[in-house]
Structure 1
Amino acid sequence: MSDITHARVFKIALPIVLSNATIPILGAVDTGVVGQLGLPAPIGAVGIGAVVLTSIYWIFGFLRMGTTGLVSQAHGTGDRGEVSAGLMRALLIAVTAGLALIALQVPLFWAAFKLAPASDQVESLARDYLQIRIWGAPLTISLYAFTGWLIALERTRGVLVLQVAMNALNVGLDLWFVLGLGYGVQGVAAATLISEIGGVAIALWLTRSAFANGLWRARAIFDRLKLTEMARVNTDIMIRSVLLQASFTTFLFLGARQGDVTLAANQVLLQFLQITAFALDGFAFSAESLVGQALGARSVLRLRRAAIVSSQLGIAMAVAIGLVFWIAGPAIVDIMTTAPNVRIEARAFLFWIVLAPVIGGPAWMLDGIFIGATLSREMRNAMIGSVLVYVLSLMIFVPIFGNHGLWGALMVLNATRGAMMGRLYHRAEAKALRAAAVFGARLQPG
């Protein structure tokens, strides 16, 4: 197994960063092509439909993280059969969940429009959009599994190829279906569905080695202990992710109480956090892969080296992003909005965005380390504790400092997450030690 170097980490991280950079382009094209129809309703329908499905599919994001952690450990152990079986189990969950969403689409969409009501015209068009897109549910969720598997094996170039190919196909079909054939909102939905079919076809090709290995079949996939471990890890990660999303949702709702201008400014500034996430994801994913492999290899030294090297680059990137926001932040704000009052308001809170990557960087990297080590229970508990501190911070800071208090509480959330997980890092090394001890005991003559 090759040495863990900064170059190796960067080789894993860069394709993820580039892949993430393509994501906003697709949303812009979807909005742009329906915008050419000259009517507001199609734009609103595509926006609402996309948000509804993104919110539903986001729940299954645990499948990407859980697959990366478990498969990277199997890869580090050298168990090719389990590497393949790990993907099959994840795909089994993905297809089952996707079919369930198709079966439950009527009550799901009814609930979505109750929570986010729209005009009759927008809702009608949004339903047309959703009724096409929902058939891609098994495909979309399966892509989480494929992506997690590729990251576990350090094949992030494959992730980049997959993302770019899907987006390129989607954009091309958007232009053809909407502008060329005049299919409108339904054309946007059909373009996305076809791109998902194409994406799964590419993913199957990229992961073909998993299907060529006959060791994964039947008994390996349905191994009770492996299924139980997978269920535990994925459940913990899902709880952690739901709590994190709830924290950001609370931030948005409380920001809305500060007035329309402050709400708009916060929305602009949150795009900076999105940029931060896209940039740091690559280094967090490298930690997931390398830490998992080190744990599978039962090497405490390799695990420590993976954690340190990936974190060094991740934190360096966080500091660099903070500096860019400090220098270019006002200009970026001006690009994002032309409203003078929103620009002034956003600049008043811009220093929080400069601090955010540095404060949140450790939490991002520790997430990757803990996913690789499958310390999902520790992640979940740290998230629960951090949310409690966050809620207390909101109760104290917001009434006194208003929107500054809101941003300060968000920084407290990320700082607390980093501190709590940092205190539990030793459990990753202890887990590797226990695995080495068990393996050594098995080698002893009976």
Structure 2
Amino acid sequence: MVDDLQGRFPQPVEEKKLSEVGRTPAVRRPAIGRIDREIFALAVPALGALVAEPLFVLVDSVVVGRLGTAQLGGLSLASNLLVTVVGLCVFLAYATTAAVSRLVGAGREREALQSGVDGMWLALGVGVVLGVLVWAAAPWAVSAMGGTGELAEHAVTYIRYSAIGLPGMEVVLAATGVLRGLRDTRTPLVVASTGAVVNAVVNITLVWGVGMGIAGSGLGTALTQLAMGATLAAVVVRGARRRGASLRPAAGSVWANARAGLPLLVRTLSLRLAILLTVAVATRLGDVTLAGYQVVGSLWGLAAFALDALAIAAQALVGQGLGAGDLPRVRAVLRRCLRWGVAAGAAIGVVLAAAGWWIAPLFTSDDGVRAAATAGLVVVGLLMPMAGWVFVLDGVLIGAGDGRYLAAVGMLTLVVYVPAALAVGAWAPAGAAGLAWLWAAFAGVFMAARALTTGLRARGTRWMVTGT
């Protein structure tokens, strides 16, 4: 049973840190080719699952867009609020992956599945509470975001119907974390892909066939999310039964999962606040800059999905390596994931920087927005290798259960970024130059601060605590 999952895992008496084993006889060096195969066996399906999720919003946009401008505007406002709520709960996946992978590495699969079951109970509770709060706060939240009139009515309708699916969405996060910890990224891929197809069919049926309008889109997505949560939970439950784990929630373990997730919640909050600040600055710089930011931000998000797939592989492999006490393997995984992360970032960056002038017209016909987006993509492209480094190190430290450190430096890097962002808002010109400076602040200053803090941590040994 996991006694304490807060931030870093406790070190039992018989376990040793790296400094205590560094002088042991020569250890067999892990095979690089095998490690690469393991990384990509996890990363490729994880990438598919990550890309499948945004299809929900895309399908909703296509279906609702045909209802009218007010409905589409309401969907845009509502979906941004909902994505923020769900995004803050990603700790349910990350904390569960770290706990399960570490226990599996230690050869304690029954306890790993027990921890996973407790994590899903926590997710269900969080989802129910959030569903109620989101439903009740929908009018206030829409008003706070500037929604008025018919647009606001549609946004509130979509949020309230979508809130029904929040328990399912949170269970999806936790169950996906369990399966990643078990090094199974294929099952989440199948469920996410199937869910995207089902969501399209159900939404079209409810919106157009039944005539529910935007309410049908929200309800269709909610029902799909509930079904996905139930499907993934059933997979975990079957595994738990096979290994003799209890399906009843253990209060102590559920609370331990909550404490483990709290630092990761703070870390995610720091990222969300940085993004919101960036959007606010882009808004201040004018419509052209804001529209250009939307183009670059969409492509940045797509690139982040690809790099996050490597981070997910790093989470699982590092957690299992530390659980097994295999420190040479952990270092080897770290090195290989970093090399692949930087290489993938460089490759993506070349494409974005070189093809920006041809990519931007796919989003807009406005010459000013096109020029701004192209300038922003050049800056992003040049800095994308550093983003690959950051995303991988983030995954490594999450897999090691180093949540407290990530929470602390997350807020520190936010403090570093705020003056840079405000300076851009105060002194940068509107248009292409302003957007270039804004992305230089975000992808440069903010990401450099993250690269420095995570890189210094990874060079040391304090995060490499072995055992469960």
The reply to whether TM is greater than 0.5 is yes
Residue in structure 1 matching 2:139, options 87, 110, 120:
110
- Normalising by structure 1, report the TM-score: 0.90
Residue in structure 1 matching 2:244, options 214, 219, 223:
214
Aligned to 2:445: 412
Residue in structure 2 matching 1:13, options 43, 51, 61:
43
Structure 2 vs 1, CA of residues 316 and 133 (structure 1 numbering), >3 Å: closer, same or farther? Answer: same
User: Counterpart of 2:325 in structure 1: which amino acid?
Assistant: R
Which segment is superposed worse, 405-414 or 148-157?
A: 405-414
TM-aligned CA deviation for residue 73 of structure 1: 0.4
Tell me how far apart the structure 1 counterparts of residues 424 and 163 of structure 2 sit (CA, whole Å). 42
Q: Is 1:297–2:310 an aligned residue pair?
A: no
Which segment is superposed worse, 98-107 or 365-374?
A: 98-107
Structure 2 vs 1, CA of residues 62 and 264 (structure 1 numbering), >3 Å: closer, same or farther? Answer: same
Tell me how far apart the structure 1 counterparts of residues 142 and 421 of structure 2 sit (CA, whole Å). 29
Aligned to 1:444: none
TM-aligned CA deviation for residue 296 of structure 1: 0.5
User: Counterpart of 1:425 in structure 2: which amino acid?
Assistant: A
Aligned to 1:363: 390
SS at the partner of 1:416?
A: helix
TM-aligned CA deviation for residue 396 of structure 1: 4.7
Tell me how far apart the structure 2 counterparts of residues 216 and 233 of structure 1 sit (CA, whole Å). 21
| Higher RCO by CA contacts (8 Å cutoff, separation 6 or greater) | 2
TM-aligned CA deviation for residue 390 of structure 1: 1.2
Tell me how far apart the structure 1 counterparts of residues 126 and 134 of structure 2 sit (CA, whole Å). 12
List per-residue Cα deviations over 1:390-430 (Å, max 9, x = no partner): 12333555545452432222111101111111111145x44
Structure 2 vs 1, CA of residues 131 and 395 (structure 1 numbering), >3 Å: closer, same or farther? Answer: closer
Contact residue 280 and residue 318 of structure 1 kept, 8 A: yes
User: Counterpart of 1:405 in structure 2: which amino acid?
Assistant: W
1:38-437 aligned within 5 A: 39-105=68-134, 107-207=136-236, 208-216=238-246, 221-222=250-251, 224=252, 226=253, 229-396=256-423, 399-402=426-429, 403=434, 404-410=436-442, 411-427=444-460, 429-432=461-464, 435=466
TM-aligned CA deviation for residue 18 of structure 1: 2.0
User: Counterpart of 1:15 in structure 2: which amino acid?
Assistant: P
SS at the partner of 1:419?
A: helix
Tell me how far apart the structure 1 counterparts of residues 264 and 86 of structure 2 sit (CA, whole Å). 15
Contact residue 69 and residue 371 of structure 1 kept, 8 A: yes
Structure 2 vs 1, CA of residues 378 and 46 (structure 1 numbering), >3 Å: closer, same or farther? Answer: same
SS at the partner of 2:90?
A: helix
Greater helix share, structure number: 1
Q: Is 1:35–2:65 an aligned residue pair?
A: yes
Tell me how far apart the structure 2 counterparts of residues 431 and 382 of structure 1 sit (CA, whole Å). 14
TM-aligned CA deviation for residue 124 of structure 1: 2.5
Consecutive unaligned residues in structure 1, runs of 5 or more: 440-446
Aligned to 1:22: 52
Report percent identity of matched pairs.
Answer: 27
User: Counterpart of 1:63 in structure 2: which amino acid?
Assistant: L
TM-aligned CA deviation for residue 350 of structure 1: 2.7
Tell me how far apart the structure 2 counterparts of residues 328 and 23 of structure 1 sit (CA, whole Å). 26
List per-residue Cα deviations over 1:164-222 (Å, max 9, x = no partner): 0111100011222223332211211221122112212321343221244323455x833
Structure 2 vs 1, CA of residues 342 and 305 (structure 1 numbering), >3 Å: closer, same or farther? Answer: same
TM-aligned CA deviation for residue 7 of structure 1: 1.4
TM-aligned CA deviation for residue 328 of structure 1: 1.7
Tell me how far apart the structure 2 counterparts of residues 52 and 401 of structure 1 sit (CA, whole Å). 28
SS at the partner of 2:401?
A: coil
Aligned residues: 430
Contact residue 285 and residue 368 of structure 1 kept, 8 A: yes
User: Counterpart of 2:43 in structure 1: which amino acid?
Assistant: A
TM-aligned CA deviation for residue 27 of structure 1: 2.1
Contact residue 164 and residue 219 of structure 2 kept, 8 A: no
Contact residue 195 and residue 224 of structure 2 kept, 8 A: yes
TM-aligned CA deviation for residue 34 of structure 1: 2.1
User: Counterpart of 1:350 in structure 2: which amino acid?
Assistant: L
Which segment is superposed worse, 73-82 or 209-218?
A: 209-218
Structure 2 vs 1, CA of residues 128 and 89 (structure 1 numbering), >3 Å: closer, same or farther? Answer: same
User: Counterpart of 2:269 in structure 1: which amino acid?
Assistant: V
Cα RMSD (Å): 2.2
